[in-house]
Chain A
């Protein structure tokens, strides 16, 4: 026992944090929690560890713990871009969009070339109904992500979805087409493209994109959402059997609400 304690002390908070990071990356969440707690036991204001614990807490549906860790982190080091960013993301995921703005703005100031704070700022302003700000921020986030990656695809898809909601179908389609170039396996992108094509009256291609989206891994867009869209499209295409089949699948899924 004494030997184990000595060993732990010898490891030190930095090593515990590194272990926790590795465990987190490998989805060994229980181990990650133990390691990060060990790190924080020895160094209670270790900002990276506080941020990691917050992220673990969010996975464990403990927003109270996550919030507490992130607030401690930004107090301990207000210049931590990571802490500011994740605090903003935390508020965003809690639908507390007004509170999300300030830490995300700070994160953007601290790390002006990083696209993610700008991206979350765009989504926060969109959620608050500020279309002008949101549009500008989406474009900035896009400009900060010149390399093709799943991240750049996500930004383009979100921008495309935003434009679609404004009825700007052509611009939306252009964004999500680029997203598909960046990440051909993005179900979200194919789904949004289908919606844009639906808006443009191109029902055949929209149905094709919808069917393709169904074959891709489900991360954001659910099967039910795609079946709903396909049911609408096949109704418009006067293919009642396909419309009915998709409608039945949509209705078989638990009904979702926006709220």
Chain B
């Protein structure tokens, strides 16, 4: 199955489009999978990443997982990380989430989240105190987005206890506006995503809620008299939340009216994508120990849960899996968004290929991902083109949730290696051995975000480590492939970017959220392969904007900024 076709074959799909015209409905990307891609991916990189140590980066912050003898559930969940540009200087900054005081945890010394400013030379400066984003609760995850459309990215931090919405003040500081925004609700919140649920042009908010939990509900899951973290099956499920953006800095809880609130799950990961190319953003939620949810957007702020009918709720044998990380991508270039879930050991991870009729087929086995992930427990995950051949590769952060698992079985480890898969156009090759030094180690990894930390067009990775320092992986792939960076501004989740290089067409659908507890660089890097320039680039903006922009003969090797109807700057 090839990824792309020639310009001639694509032209029928573009007949209705021209630069600067608008369409009320998103058109599918038409590509002929029977045509071979012209990009030579045989020459694989010898090494993908080098590790940027704390000594190099200056990132001294460490996560405290608050591990206790009782093994309270939230201790095993974090941390999340975010890659975003808080000061609009064009360089990606980093945000790390930490534990903090809770009913079961009273830290001996103060703990805090951390915001690191990118110094543009591979080093970062801790600006947390000045920025006012230290948190102070038992932090778990983070979502970064410009929820009020003022051009500055804000932060939502999820915690055991509540959410915190930090509004960006445009001067390097943030203000906690949680109460004023109407988001001051209790819960055990995990991943979150900002997306336009009703094509109003405003970013609404979906927040995964894990199980019904407080200290008094903790269970004793002892083995041989020693307490372990409980399998989430022992806790009761709870509904996640959907908040509508009112356009005035406040949100309204529409969980009930949207249909989201009637589904009790144990949400860990969420991604917003468009599974049926109807221009409405759907939601895929990975649940742990209960079935996954696929919320099909019916328009008008209504969602229908179709996980079972779509074939993404259970394993092939009708068993619920331990869904944790999640992503959505068109991995095979057929114009439809496929879904991915990182599960726990012995469950295999799931790669659900979109059949085009609102149903999916788990192709983890035939694509090589299934057996390669048989013994791993996956959290952070992201499809991104690390080698610029135009195809999305896959990186996975793993680690068993039970720190004492090795006392129960010799087959599993608490610390697990990262995994790297190269997309070969037909499936995935496990190239972890070429990942670099970090891939030879094992970690209790959790959140994972990708982004270009040094603006060199090669996508880097930051991994949150439970109870440890974050891992910063610098992409060192240097091949003959070229790239174009695209920084879309304004409402971008739901945009569809297509480009042609040497007559080969590729596409990226800008999904919202994904991975686990984390938030990625909002920019996109378009891999051109060996092509010296992009024949054309086309941006079909989200349905609310009703516009498509197209540019011919775009030169590589730099980032371009684009607003709807604007020029590539």
Contact = CB atoms under 8 A, between A and B. Distances in A.
Interface of A: 94-99, 126-131, 164-168, 195, 199, 224-225, 227-229, 231-232, 235-236, 247, 250, 255-259
A257 B365 contact: no
A195 B365 CA distance: 14
A198 B193 CA distance: 35
Contacts of B374: 126-129
A128 B374 CA distance: 6
B366 A167 contact: yes
Interface of B is mostly: loop
A228 B348 CA distance: 19
Nearest to B376: A129
A129 B375 contact: yes
Interface centre among B318, B361, B374, B409 (most CB of A within 10 A): B318
Given A165-B365, A166-B370, A257 B411 contact: no
Contacts of B317: 225, 228
B371 A95 contact: no
B263 to A, nearest CB: 14
Contacts of B365: 164-167
Interface in B355-386: 359, 361, 363, 365-367, 370-375
Contact of B318 (A96, A130, A168, A256): A256
Contacts of B411: 95-99, 127-128
Nearest to A221: B317
Given A98-B410, A165-B370, A250 B318 contact: yes
Given A166-B366, A257-B319, A257-B321, 7 more contacts: A97-B411, A129-B371, A227-B318, A228-B314, A228-B317, A257-B233, A258-B346
A96 B375 contact: no
A97 B231 CA distance: 21
A40 B328 CA distance: 60
Contacts of A258: 315, 319-322, 343, 346-347
A98 B345 CA distance: 14
Contacts of B373: 129
Nearest to A224: B318
B372 A129 contact: yes
A36 B231 CA distance: 37
B316 A259 contact: no
A189 to B, nearest CB: 15
Interface of B: 231, 233, 289-291, 308-309, 311, 314-322, 343-344, 346-348, 359, 361, 363, 365-367, 370-375, 409-411
13 contacts: A97-B411, A128-B375, A165-B348, A167-B366, A227-B318, A228-B314, A232-B311, A247-B308, A256-B318, A258-B321, A258-B346, A259-B322, A259-B344
A96 B45 CA distance: 36
A97 B318 CA distance: 24
A258 B481 CA distance: 42
Nearest to B345: A259
A11 to B, nearest CB: 38
B363 A257 contact: no
B290 A96 contact: no
B384 to A, nearest CB: 24
Closest 9 CB pairs of A and B: A167-B366, A228-B318, A129-B374, A131-B371, A258-B347, A166-B365, A165-B365, A256-B319, A167-B365
Contact of A257 (B322, B361, B366): B322
Contact of A235 (B291, B309, B321): B309
A157 to B, nearest CB: 13
Nearest to A165: B365
A257 B343 CA distance: 12
Contacts of B375: 128-129
Given A95-B411, A96-B411, A127-B346, A255 B363 contact: no
Contacts of B314: 228
A227 B290 CA distance: 18
Contact of A195 (B316, B319, B346, B347): B316
Contacts of A164: 316, 365
B371 A259 contact: no
Q: Name, among A97, A199, A224, A258, the residue most crowded by chain B CB atoms within 10 Å (CB to CB).
A: A258
Contacts of A256: 318-320
Nearest to A167: B366
A43 B8 CA distance: 84
A223 to B, nearest CB: 11
Contacts of B410: 96, 98-99
Contacts of B233: 257, 259
A67 to B, nearest CB: 13
B371 A166 contact: yes
Contacts of B319: 256-258
B100 to A, nearest CB: 30
Given A128-B411, A165-B365, A259-B289, A95 B318 contact: no
A235 B290 CA distance: 21
A45 B448 CA distance: 54
Nearest to B347: A258
A105 B411 CA distance: 17
A195 B361 CA distance: 12
Contacts of A97: 411
B246 to A, nearest CB: 37
Contacts of B344: 259
B346 A96 contact: no
Contacts of B348: 165
Nearest to B366: A167
Contacts of B372: 129
A128 B322 CA distance: 18
A224 B373 CA distance: 26
Contacts of B359: 236
A218 to B, nearest CB: 14
Task: Name, among A96, A99, A259, the residue most crowded by chain B CB atoms within 10 Å (CB to CB).
Answer: A259
B289 to A, nearest CB: 5
B290 A259 contact: no
A259 B318 contact: no
A95 B370 contact: no
A165 to B, nearest CB: 5
A202 to B, nearest CB: 14
A94 B343 CA distance: 20
A225 B347 contact: no
Contacts of B361: 199
B233 to A, nearest CB: 6
